Amino acid sequence: MNYKFSNLLGAPYRGGNLVFHDADLLSAVGNRIAMVDLVGSTSATLPMESLKQLRTLALSPDGIQLLAIDEEGKSLIINKQRRVLLHHFSFKGPVAAASFSPNGKFIAAAVGRILQIWHAPSFAKSMNPMRLHRTYGGCHGDITCLNWSADSSWVAVASKDLCARVYSLQSIDGYKPPTLAGHRDVPVAVAFAGQAMHRAATAIGQAPPALITVSRDGALFYWEMLPEQSRTYAGGEWRLGERHFFNQRGASLTSAALHQGTCLLVTGFSNGLFQLHQLPDFNNLHTLSVSHEAINAVSWNARGDWLALGCASLGQLLVWEWRSQTYVLRQQGHFFDASALAFSSDGSLLATGADDNKVKMWAPATGMCYVTFSAHTAPVTAVAFLPNSGAVVSASLDGTVRAWDLLRYRNFRTLTTPSPVQFASLAVDPAGEVVCAGALDTFQIYVWAVKTGRLLDVLSGHEAPVAALAFSPVHSVLASASWDHTIHTWDVFSGKGGIEILQHDHDVLALAFRPDGKLLASATLNGQIYLWNPQEAELQGTIDGRRDIAGGRLSTSKRTAANAPSGTCFTSLAFCADGSWLLAGGASKYVCMYDVADRLLLRRIQISHNRSLDSILDVLNSRDITDAGPVGLIDDQDSDDDVLLPVTAAGRAAAEHDLPGTGARRKRPVIRCRAVALSPTGAAWAAATTEGILMHSLDPGLVFDPSDLAEDVTPAAVLTALKDRAHLKALCLALRLRQPDLISRAVLSTPMGEVQTVAAGVPSTALADMLTSLADLLTKEKLEPQIVAKATNVRNFKTGEFIEVLWQLEEDGVSKAKWWKAKVLGPSPRADPASAAAPYVIRYEQYQDIAEEEAEVIVLAPDQLRHADKEDVMKWRQAGDTSVPTESEWEEGRDDTVTLHELNEDGEELERDIGASIEDAVLQHLQENLPMDGQQRVMAGFRNFADFIKQHLRQKQADKGSEHVVTSDDVAEMLNAFRQNN
């Protein structure tokens, strides 16, 4: 149940500026921040939220501190590398633009008509993270853009009064900021020219510009500085130099950015066109169109080879490599809200359908959409995967059910009806042979064969739209939910028609089978969840979720949130893998988790805190209520065209305003959850919400591990835990230290009867190290025994004396102890002579059986006792010790030192590999304890992993010889190969 927010899919860009840092591209998506790794092709969303839509982002030059400012001027100061929120700060007004100085010491913020310079936050603890340095006035209109000089001493701004000004960071006696006027429309970008442009202009015989400005009417102005014996902007005269006009007919310039190093200017227009010019001679390098909507933001990376473009109305984010004219990134979310989603059988894929008539395929691991299907001509209402995850099926209001091939990315089957209908629901049988769809207008259920596409049957009986369909996972039963207050169960394969009718008090909106098929959950319009036995058609209980899902007051509502009108109900249900809890979402800001057995609310997760959406707050502020309605819904802008920055009120820009002349109100989207889905592995769940596809997961990176904060995680602590028989603690500490010998010691010291308990308690954060260590152990030819001796102090061992070493085995469920007689050969010749903990080396001579209860044993540390090897023997022989065997004698008796010899009933000697029993026990435990339902389990499919390692080992031994010893490099190679093949 420890699910946490992990990512936001379907919303790569929602407005605001774009920020590059190295290979990362940052953009605002609602009240969150998306970060795209352009090299690794992954997308992540930072976990923190702002109270309103984010409008401006600013990143420090070192890429550590990120400043995110919302539409009201409230900001978040974030450590980008650690993804931690450091401070909250308010600028007391909307901020149109903000930027760190090139030296990272200051932040310039355009707050209305005022320019504020702040000292950048430091990592030292302070009551106030930012200190005001200076405030600059003089602008007669709101500032729209700003830019720092390369030496961090000057700031250029442009405002709605059609002028640009240059301010000094420090106070200079007699300096008056110049007013650079001449534009006929509002400036969109201002930038210092830089040294590269100065050299380029000088080379072609032009006067080098000091400042450039770009306005919305497509005008580029060069501003020249005549220093008059002064090398700074403090003295001299400004004048207008060259002017270039490049406006597009019927469109306005919406964004511009200059890369000072390459002297490249990119401009975006309201018709989806962008142009690339080489300055200062203004050569047009490229003119391309990426969409039919406005390009709201453009940005350059540090090298000037990648260009980012953002289109807010389409939710489109592009990164273009202008030299090769190829796309580095091309992502676009759904134009409207997602209405349906489904996970593949292994949880590696996510399919979404939306009201924009499109079906998109996502990789939850990377957060990227890799294919879009757009053959539907009406909103998509439901999606489902075929059992083998090789195809996905979608139902639409256009009257078709389409099957999409995920290998060739094509529509290989289109299922239709004799007469046009609108489909509202969809289900695929567990075998993947039959597809069923419920109609919205004819109230019938249509059944097709997937292989032939032939319509097999039409099921009639409902008297209202069929809202949901679901097949039983274990029985050939189809359940259908309808607005006629009933659920019908059907035997689709026998052709007998309806089996049972389950009556409800209200319209049924959703249903879901438990994975074992013994329970059917249904959600009704009054906010209740019914639990049925589908075989006996008996009601086993109900869950009253009206109070759980209630919350949030509409800005136009006359009632409080507690007394809100009916309509807050569950519209989507999903069981977890073992059926112990149920996930429910609907027309509310909450997603609820219920315990099925006790019918209790386990968790209630608020899907968003974005106050730019409606129905977020439970209590409205009376100051925002006027006679004309809520203040937030009154359109007080001068005109629809007077929006320089993209309007970042939640939702799509095209749907936020009424048409000109039709009213003076703005519409705010209402927060809701239209569908929920659980990954079959239990590792994640997804919700289709107003803001996009919210992903919550049990990702190991999100799980808190208390041992990270411990100060006593040392090798000595591992040995102490082993001595105290605290095997789980010892293993966890060894995994934190990541020392192979300690991990091996902790694993092999675990008694056979405690293997399941210990392995189940391994935290998920240590699974990667655990798998690597187990792989290393399982690939060894022999596993060393657990070393237990009766001596109380190994320092009392003497060279040449005999000790007893215990091997613990489990045979036929009975724990036995095997005692070996071993000779102490002496301290290891490879150990440090100055070390007091030089390990003693032993060699086995013989063994005997004794009862386990008679053995009073203590665990010896691995750095105090170990088995002799050939290298030890050779060094002793070279030192003149004749008591140890020769090389040939050692080779002849080598097998006796690592293999346990036992006698069968006939007295014949048998060889038994002690490692086999340990391997089988570990694998059996990992097989039985899969990572389901939030319980502490290990990992699914480990047996496949182990089999793969064995095959890889055999291949290694065939290539390098049977005596090849598996190293850590071999294990790493195996892991990489396993990831690539799976």
Residue 757 lies in a domain: no
Could you tell me the CA-to-CA distances from 127 to 42, 130, 176, 775 in Å, in that order? 37, 9, 35, 51
Q: Given this model, what pLDDT does residue 813 score?
A: 45
Residue with more model confidence, 508 or 920: 508
Mean pLDDT over each residue of the chain, to the nearest integer = 79
- Which residues lie closer than 8 Å to 160 by C-beta, 6 or more apart? 141, 142, 143, 144, 186, 644
Q: Given this model, what pLDDT does residue 402 score?
A: 96
Q: Which of 269, 284, 299 is the last residue in one of the domains?
A: 284
If pLDDT is split at 50, 70 and 90, which confidence band does 136 have? Answer: very high
Write out the DSSP string of 5-20.
EEEEES-S--SS--EE
Lowest average pLDDT, out of 4-8, 450-454, 600-604, 846-850, goes to: 846-850
Parallel, antiparallel or unpaired: strands 788-789 and 316-321 = unpaired
Tokens of residue 58, six digits = 């600013």
Please check the confidence at residue 67 and state whether its pLDDT lies above 70.
Answer: yes
Residue 15 lies in a domain: no
> Position of tokens 């009154």?
634
**For residue 188, what is the domain's CATH number?**
2.130.10.10
If pLDDT is split at 50, 70 and 90, which confidence band does 11 have? Answer: confident
Q: Given this model, what pLDDT does residue 825 score?
A: 63
User: For 56-73, what is the mean pLDDT?
Assistant: 95
Residue 88 lies in a domain: no
The 10s digit of each residue's pLDDT in 810-831 is: 444 444 555 556 666 666 555 5
Residues 679 and 821 in one domain: no
If pLDDT is split at 50, 70 and 90, which confidence band does 419 have? Answer: very high
State how far the Cα of 478 lies from the Cα of 476, in Å rounded to an integer. Answer: 7
* DSSP classification of residue 614: B
Please check the confidence at residue 697 and state whether its pLDDT lies above 80.
Answer: yes
> Position of tokens 């050779």?
874
Q: Given this model, what pLDDT does residue 567 score?
A: 65
Residues 676 and 805 in one domain: no
Residues 686 and 586 in one domain: yes
Please check the confidence at residue 636 and state whether its pLDDT lies above 70.
Answer: no
Contact 155, 175 (CB under 8 A): no
Residues 791 and 933 in one domain: yes
Residue 323 lies in a domain: no
If pLDDT is split at 50, 70 and 90, which confidence band does 771 have? Answer: confident
If pLDDT is split at 50, 70 and 90, which confidence band does 249 have? Answer: confident
Residue 841 lies in a domain: yes
Please check the confidence at residue 932 and state whether its pLDDT lies above 50.
Answer: no
Parallel, antiparallel or unpaired: strands 840-850 and 865-867 = parallel
Residues 577 and 679 in one domain: yes
- Which residues lie closer than 8 Å to 351 by C-beta, 6 or more apart? 341, 342, 344, 359, 360, 361, 362, 383, 384, 385, 392, 394
Please check the confidence at residue 87 and state whether its pLDDT lies above 70.
Answer: yes
Contact 320, 18 (CB under 8 A): no
User: For 24-30, what is the mean pLDDT?
Assistant: 94
One-letter amino acid of 236: G
Residues 794 and 925 in one domain: yes
Nearest partner of 786 among 811, 817, 828, 765, judged by Cα: 817
Please check the confidence at residue 867 and state whether its pLDDT lies above 70.
Answer: no
Q: Is the dihedral of CA 617, 623, 629, 631 positive or negative?
A: negative
* DSSP classification of residue 623: G
Lowest average pLDDT, out of 201-210, 340-349, 355-364, 917-926, goes to: 917-926
Residue with more model confidence, 244 or 897: 244
Q: Given this model, what pLDDT does residue 396 score?
A: 96
Distance from chain centroid for Cα 645: 29
State how far the Cα of 809 lies from the Cα of 242, in Å rounded to an integer. Answer: 89
Q: Given this model, what pLDDT does residue 446 score?
A: 96
Q: Given this model, what pLDDT does residue 389 score?
A: 78
Contact 45, 37 (CB under 8 A): no
Tokens of residue 810, six digits = 């489990």
Please check the confidence at residue 526 and state whether its pLDDT lies above 60.
Answer: yes
Residue with more model confidence, 376 or 977: 376
Q: Given this model, what pLDDT does residue 278 score?
A: 95
Q: Which of 673, 693, 713 is the last residue in one of the domains?
A: 693
Q: Given this model, what pLDDT does residue 873 score?
A: 61
State how far the Cα of 117 lies from the Cα of 154, in Å rounded to an integer. Answer: 11
Residues 824 and 940 in one domain: yes
Task: Determine the angle formed by the axes of helices 727-737 and 767-778, rounding to 10 degrees.
Answer: 100
pLDDT > 70: what percent of the chain?
A: 71
Per the document, the length of the chain is 982
State how far the Cα of 927 lies from the Cα of 943, in Å rounded to an integer. Answer: 7
Residue 160 lies in a domain: yes
Domain that holds residue 804: 779-969
Please check the confidence at residue 764 and state whether its pLDDT lies above 50.
Answer: yes
Enumerate the H helices of 83-217 as residue ranges: 195-203
The 10s digit of each residue's pLDDT in 313-353 is: 899 999 999 999 999 999 999 988 899 999 999 899 999 99
> Position of tokens 């099926």?
393
Tokens of residue 594, six digits = 């219920």
> Position of tokens 């703005």?
666
Q: Given this model, what pLDDT does residue 742 score?
A: 81
User: For 692-710, what is the mean pLDDT?
Assistant: 65
Write out the DSSP string of 701-770.
GGS--GGGG-S--SHHHHHHHHHTT-HHHHHHHHHHHT-HHHHHHHHHTS-GGGHHHHHHTS-GGGHHHH
Lowest average pLDDT, out of 297-311, 561-575, 608-622, 669-683, goes to: 561-575
Q: Given this model, what pLDDT does residue 784 score?
A: 38
Q: Given this model, what pLDDT does residue 465 score?
A: 95
Residues 830 and 947 in one domain: yes
Residues 146 and 249 in one domain: yes
Residues 688 and 784 in one domain: no
Q: Given this model, what pLDDT does residue 738 score?
A: 76
Q: Given this model, what pLDDT does residue 188 score?
A: 97
Residue 454 lies in a domain: no
State how far the Cα of 396 lies from the Cα of 416, in Å rounded to an integer. Answer: 11
Q: Given this model, what pLDDT does residue 888 score?
A: 63
Residues 687 and 787 in one domain: no
Q: Given this model, what pLDDT does residue 427 score?
A: 96
Residues 796 and 677 in one domain: no
Could you tell me the CA-to-CA distances from 853 to 132, 223, 511, 695, 856 in Å, in that order? 75, 94, 57, 53, 8
Q: Given this model, what pLDDT does residue 710 score?
A: 56
Residue 579 lies in a domain: yes
Task: Determine the angle formed by the axes of helices 727-737 and 740-748, rounding to 10 degrees.
Answer: 160
Q: Given this model, what pLDDT does residue 900 score?
A: 29
Beta bridge partners of 79: 65, 84
Number of domains in the chain: 3
If pLDDT is split at 50, 70 and 90, which confidence band does 734 have? Answer: confident
If pLDDT is split at 50, 70 and 90, which confidence band does 507 have? Answer: very high
* DSSP classification of residue 666: B
Residue with more model confidence, 914 or 489: 489
- Which residues lie closer than 8 Å to 712 by C-beta, 6 or more apart? none
What kind and span of H or E run contains 351?
Answer: strand 350-354
State how far the Cα of 634 lies from the Cα of 665, in Å rounded to an integer. Answer: 5
> Position of tokens 């210092």?
192
Nearest partner of 756 among 520, 929, 909, judged by Cα: 929
Q: Given this model, what pLDDT does residue 524 score?
A: 95
End-to-end Cα separation, the chain, in angstroms: 27
Lowest average pLDDT, out of 215-219, 365-369, 701-705, goes to: 701-705
Please check the confidence at residue 840 and state whether its pLDDT lies above 60.
Answer: no
Q: Which of 693, 725, 760 is the last residue in one of the domains?
A: 693
Parallel, antiparallel or unpaired: strands 684-689 and 673-678 = antiparallel
If pLDDT is split at 50, 70 and 90, which confidence band does 615 have? Answer: confident
User: For 575-586, what is the mean pLDDT?
Assistant: 93
- Which residues lie closer than 8 Å to 82 by C-beta, 6 or more apart? none
Please check the confidence at residue 475 and state whether its pLDDT lies above 90.
Answer: no
State how far the Cα of 500 lies from the Cα of 478, in Å rounded to an integer. Answer: 11
Peptide bond into 827 cis (omega under 30): no
Please check the confidence at residue 885 and state whether its pLDDT lies above 90.
Answer: no
Please check the confidence at residue 835 and state whether its pLDDT lies above 70.
Answer: no
